[in-house]
Structure 1
Amino acid sequence: MRLRLVLATVTAGLTAAACLTAAGPATARSATAQRTSAHPCSPSTSITGFSDALDKTTYNDTFVGNLSALAVDRDGAIAALSDRSSLFTLDPMSLRPRSVVALADEKGAGLDAEGLAVDRDGTRLVSSETEPSIRRYGRDGTLLGSLPVPDALRVAPAGRATGNATFEGLTLLPGGRTLLAGMEGALSGDGTGIVRFQTWHRHGGSQAFALAAQYGYRTDTGLSVSETTATPDGRLLVLERGFTSGVGNTIRLYVADPRHATDTSGTENLTGQDGVRLIRKTLLADIADCPSLGATAKQPQPNPLLDNIEGMAITGREPGGRLKVLLVSDDNQNQVQTTRFYSLRVRLPFVAEG
């Protein structure tokens, strides 16, 4: 299906999905009213709706939750990855599951799956932060192969990464020839808050990715990278996330531009004061500043709309150029957290060519 048709299908689906609710008819009517207008979170970002309809549900005896990544499939469906080794296909009109497949590594063990991209042939590229790794899977969950990973990015003692802080984001850049994975936390020896974004590149019609450039990105104090998603012009949307017990989550959405950053693949330690050009970023919105739209939280939050947001996909573009962005929270299969979908409209700042 051509890209324009895919985006139109998903855009229509998100409007319908804004009406989903698990709270009953009163909330459903409220959500229906919300879908007709955008509610500003910042000058560049607004929220058009949210849905808790999949929270604490099951599909084909599989728990629908622990969702850590989203991607748009070739036919417009939404692929949703659980970090408990399940990959769901969601209907773009309702966001309800259509199918689910189980994923496993080369030994048949489950993954701590955190990042997802759908390749041009429908192959699923999935990152696991255990080693870390990036594996290729068929639509039926068949393991097809894996990509090389730099030694430094491996979890110690094999490398310099900290467990549970590796490949959290995964995205294909426009054209489908470059894959980018965002590390959640810093490597040992790098400056506090400076994380690495690794890329792979392939040439011509080849399906094989080879290691390519690497870049440094500085997170806000106390936050880490939870998702990276390529924009149509080659920039990145980056979600930064934090959690404070008794206070709740911090979720900030940035646009970042790696195109003029220094290739740090040969730089052992990133200090932030070594002449290396880090990826430049611009704040689009702090999600705590969005209107709550009647959302409720099961634990303390600065805004009851907030939860542990980990997944993000660009699902369409409006005539005026605003991007339609879908977010999802990972409930960790925890009774005080929620599986919640959010639909945003985002206007990217203008960047001059050259």
Structure 2
Amino acid sequence: MRLRTVCAGLAAGLAAVTSLTAAGPAAAHPPGNRHACSPYVLLDRFSDALDKTTYDGTYTGNLSALAVDRDGSLAALGDRSSLFRLDARTLRPEGVVRLADEKGADLDSEGLVVDRDGSRLVSSETEPSVRRYSPGGEILDRLPVPSALRVAPAGRATANQTFEGLTLLPGGRTLLASMEYALAGDSAGTVRFQTWQRHRGRFTPAAQYAYRTDPGLGVPEVQATPDGRLLVLERGFTAGVGNTVRLYLADLRHATDTAGVEHLTGGSAVRPVKKTLLADIAACPSLGATARQPQPNPLLDNIEGMTITGRDATGRLKVLLVSDDNQNPAQTTRFYRLRVRA
């Protein structure tokens, strides 16, 4: 999305430090590792190879989501209706498909899942919606969305702050979409995770969960881990300061199903999704990265997409992130290769 300006204040920083400290020293990386972002995350390398480039006449920026395709290539979704196929090793574009809604109009496409049959589930934050597309870009299906999650006046969501993340949980029966910011009437910083259950090939709305972000931050992406937990990106932007991007591990177990809770407020008897900080990306080594605008770390940009590409020899998850440059000269399309001990 075109990220609105937010302020992640002192309280956010203190909360992050407290969360990381509480996680304890187990599984820590060796001290002094120059690639360490935290005891749990290593930055292998980054790449700006696609920054301000085109492929087959299509701008290759605005990237908002990533997924591993069935043939091992990468699917990279632009939020202006372009779906690219990338070589998983070189990130070189190898194909592009234009997506559209039922009337042929562009999408504000934000979340991406490659389903087991090769079809693409794509979320748009305009309505919001989740549509299923063929590999060639033909609409096959559209999932029902609870009315409260729709953009006002149809629902209680704010335009450009709805379905940002999309992931399929292990087993392929549960689809999850993350709202980026809170609904009207919910407490600030309390976002809803909506799920659908697959039955006879169709997804129908199911449980919903409350997730509390750090102050001033939203949720641009979620990704299911092999054991059914979630990697969650939290992100914000402060003009003149730059981006805040944090990676959390979240666990849906024991969280309250909030599908029937109209307003999530301080007085709600709701148990939110448990989360543990894995890394503040500002603490990663810059590895020579440069930034075109002020940043706490020149490595940072508008990070918005994430996928798990496998495991390394020690069992750590190999995680790929990408930033959305918004086709803006001051921002960069940048890929980040992480290894995460979850």
TM-score (norm 1): 0.87
Asked whether the equivalents of residues 55 and 340 of structure 1 are also in contact (C-alpha less than 8 Å), the reply is yes
- Deviation, structure 1 residue 51: 0.1
For 2:62 and 2:185, locate their aligned partners in 1 and report how far apart those are by CA, in whole Å. 31
The residue aligned with 1:6 is none
Aligned position for 2:271: 277
1:338 and 1:147 mapped to 2: Cα distance? Answer: 33
**Contact kept in structure 2, 1:71 and 1:80, CA below 8 Å:** yes
Confirm or deny that 1:217 pairs with 2:190.
no
Q: Using CA pairs under 8 Å that are at least 6 residues apart, name the structure with larger relative contact order, 1 or 2.
A: 2
1:266 and 1:322 map into 2 onto residues whose CA distance is 37
Q: Is 1:312 paired with 2:306?
A: yes
Q: Kindly report which structure 2 residues correspond to 1:163-242, keeping only aligned pairs within 5 A, or say none.
A: 163-203=159-199, 206-242=200-236
Q: Deviation at 1:271?
A: 1.1
% identity of equivalent residues: 75
Cα offset for 1:169? 0.2
CA contact (8 A) 2:113 2:121 kept: yes
Letter in 2 for 1:295: A
- Could you list the per-position Cα deviations for residues 55-97 of structure 1 after superposition, in whole angstroms to 9, with x for gaps in the alignment? 0000000000000000000111100000000000001121111
Post-superposition offset of 1:320:
2.1
Q: CA deviation at 1:318?
A: 1.8
1: distance between equivalents of 2:131 and 2:56?
25
Which residue identity is paired with 2:212? R
Residues 179 and 193 in structure 2, CA contact (< 8 A), matched pair in contact too: yes
Answer yes or no: is the 8 Å Cα contact 2:48–2:332 preserved in 1: yes
Is 1:333 the counterpart of 2:327 in the alignment? yes
TM-superposed CA distance for 1:273, in Å, is 3.5
Q: Which residue of 2 aligns with 1:256?
A: 250
Match of 1:55?
A: 51
Between the aligned partners of 2:246 and 2:71, the Cα distance in structure 1 is: 30
- In structure 2, the residue corresponding to 1:198 is in which secondary structure? strand
String of CA shifts for 1:306-334, please: whole Å, max 9, x gaps: 00000000001123221000000000000
Instruction: Look up the match of 1:156.
Output: 152
Unaligned runs of 5+ in 1: 1-36, 349-354
Is the CA contact 1:194–1:272 (under 8 Å) kept in the aligned structure 2? Answer: no
Q: CA deviation at 1:38?
A: 6.8
Q: More helix by proportion, 1 or 2?
A: 1
Amino acid across the alignment from 2:189: G
Q: Can you list the C-alpha shifts for 1:166-193, whole angstroms capped at 9, x where unaligned?
A: 0000000001110000000100100110
Write out aligned runs for 1:64-103 (5 A).
64-103=60-99
Q: Runs of 4+ in structure 1 displaced over 3 angstroms?
A: none
Pairing 1:299–2:293 present: yes
Q: TM-score, normalised by structure 2?
A: 0.90
One-letter code of the match for 1:193?
A: G
Distance of 1:230 and 1:61 partners within structure 2: 33
Counterpart AA for 2:260 = G
Code of the aligned partner of 1:222: G
Residue 247 of structure 1 contacts residue 300 of structure 1 at CA under 8 Å; is this kept in 2? yes
Q: Output one character per residue of 1:114-139: Cα deviation in whole Å (capped at 9) or x when no partner.
A: 00000000000000000000000000
Aligned to 1:110: 106
- In 1, Cα distance between equivalents of 2:84 and 2:266: 40
